Each structure stands twice: as C-alpha cells, then as structure tokens.
Amino acid sequence: MTTTPPDTGTTAPGTSVTSSELLSVVASRELAARRAVFAGIGLPTLATELARLTVAPEIEVVYESGVCGAHPSHLPETIADAVLISGAEAVLSMPALFGYVLQGGHIDVGFLGAAQIDRWGNLNTSVIGDWERPEVRLPGSGGAVEVMAGSREVFVVMRRHNPRSFTEFLDFCTTPGPDRALAEGIRPRGAGVTRVITELGVLAREGVGDQLRLVATHPGVTVDQVRAATGWELAVTDRVATVPPPTAAELRLLREDVDPGRVYLR
C-alpha cells in the first residue's frame, strides 16, 4: 500500500495539519447541534471543545467518571482529572451516571475507540487472539458496552485505518451494535456507530440494518486506498465527497484556545 495520509509530516502550527488536528476538526463538525456528548480524553476532548467554540455552543460533555458540565482550569489528562471536578456543575455517582444518564437515554453522542471494528460498527477492546489465552490482553469494555447501548448514536475516531483494525471478523465482540443485540432478541436503544472518522476519511451508517459506508475521503485520498485499508468489502456511497480541509479559523481555535500546550495535538 502506498497511501500517503494528507499532510501529517509536521506539527509546526500554521503550516501543515497534523493527523490529530485533522481528526479533531472533522469530528467537531459532526457534533453540529448535538448537546449531550459522552467523551473520553484525547481526540474527543479536542473535538468537543472545538465544537463548543464553533458548531455546538451548548454542548455538554459527560465523562465516565461522573462529571457533568466541567469547567477545567487546565486541559484534563484523564477522565478523572481533579481539574474536571473542581468547578464542575455536577458530579454523579457511578449508579447515577450509568443508570440514569447513560441507560436513561440522556446522551446524544458517545465517543468510543476500539482495537477492532467491523462493518456493522461492532467493537473489540478485549483481546487480540483467543479470549482464553490471548496474544494481547487489552483493557476490556470499561463503560463501552453501556455507551453503545445507551447513546442515541456513537462516533468512533481511529487514527489508524488498516485491515487489522477494520476487520471482517472481530477476534472478540466486546461492544455490540444494535444489529447483534436484535439478533439475540434484546431490544437496543440507540443507532449504534453512525460515524467512523479516520486518517483516510469518514464512514457513515444510518442505524439498525445498515452497514458502514465510505462517504468522504480526505483530500488526496482515493476510494481505492480506503478499500485497500479496510478488511471487509467496503460499501461506498454513490458520490463520495471530499472532506473540506480544516479552515484557518478552526485551526487557530484548536491551537490557540483548545490545546495551546499541544497536550493532545501530537
């Protein structure tokens, strides 16, 4: 494969765009008009904070640690960072966070990551290899099973787009989308994964019964490149768009207001 991801070579502000900047900007745009977002730390932090300054001024970020409406004095390093707690609007217990907020249906968009994803948006964060004696033991679900089950829709941001991560068959399905739940006769709440944002482009999925389709590529990336980087026979929308590159305004906000210390803007 000879794919060259767009402009990832340098991190000098103002010149070219890093992978983190690109993914954050694209993810932030997808949050337009969304309100309650469940997010981890890292790229989702950048995306949600940029969205607050651009397309989603009323966004409320809910963290797995129980924090709602954080007003941190510094960029948080973990979802439990003390700076997320001091000055927050509410801090909830785990039973309230998972039971009332997530399962109760108060989250519009949940951000998840994964080691593996399949065409239905099912995710693996448990093991590479066999569960009983894995090649690599990964951290496991955390709250991912609940984020998928409870959020109206789920966004996945994956830095690396390759056939090992975008796989026909998961080594293990930790976090099932609604199609797998329905197949077992369990009623799901949300649509499952509706957006996957990668270094190559954007995949989208409507909801139950639909599979991920390539809807846009970054400038300079071809559909064939994405097909080659995907471990299943990739569905492609009729008119694949080109993702508009980050604007100067977006980059300035991201670099100067959201993460001036470049903690996550690697």
Partner 1 sequence: MERTDTAAGAGVVMSMREAVASFVHDGATVSLEGFTHLVPTAAGHEIIRQGRRDLTVVRMTADIVVDQMIAAGCVSRLVSSFVGNSSAGSLGELRRRIERADPAPLAFEEYSHYGMVCRYLAGAQRLPFYPLRSYGGSDLPGVNSDLRTVTSPYPGPDGEPERIYVVPPVNPDVTIVHAQRADRRGNTQLWGLTGVQAEAVYAADKAIVVVEEVVADAVVRSDPNRTLIPAHAVDAVVVCPRGAHPSFAQGYYDRDNAFYRAWSHISKDPERLREWLREWVYGTEDHAAYVDKLGEEFWAGLAVGEALSEPVDYGRRL
Nearest to 243 by CA among 187, 208, 200: 200
DSSP 101: I
C-beta of 3 vs 141, nearer to partner 1: 141
Residue 196 to residues 17, 60, 111, 119, 132: CA-CA distances in angstroms?
A: 20, 21, 10, 11, 29
DSSP 35: -
C-beta of 11 vs 103, nearer to partner 1: 103
Q: How distant is the alpha carbon of residue 170 from its chain centre?
A: 18
Kindly report the CA angle at 208 between 207 and 214, in degrees rounded to 5? 45
C-beta of 6 vs 176, nearer to partner 1: 176
Least gap, CB of 72 to partner 1 (angstroms): 5
- In the Cβ-directed half-sphere of 182, how many Cα atoms lie within 13 Å? 13
60 tagged catalytic: no
C-beta of 77 vs 245, nearer to partner 1: 77
Least gap, CB of 63 to partner 1 (angstroms): 9
Distance CA 100, CA 78 (A): 23
Distance CA 68, CA 90 (A): 5
User: Is the separation of the CB atoms in 22 and 6 below 8 Å?
Assistant: yes
Q: Which residues pair with 241 in a beta bridge?
A: 216
C-beta of 133 vs 239, nearer to partner 1: 133
Give the position of tokens 């490149």. 225
Distance CA 155, CA 65 (A): 19
Distance CA 171, CA 179 (A): 18
Set 64, 146, 199, 250: catalytic member: 64
Catalytic residues: 64
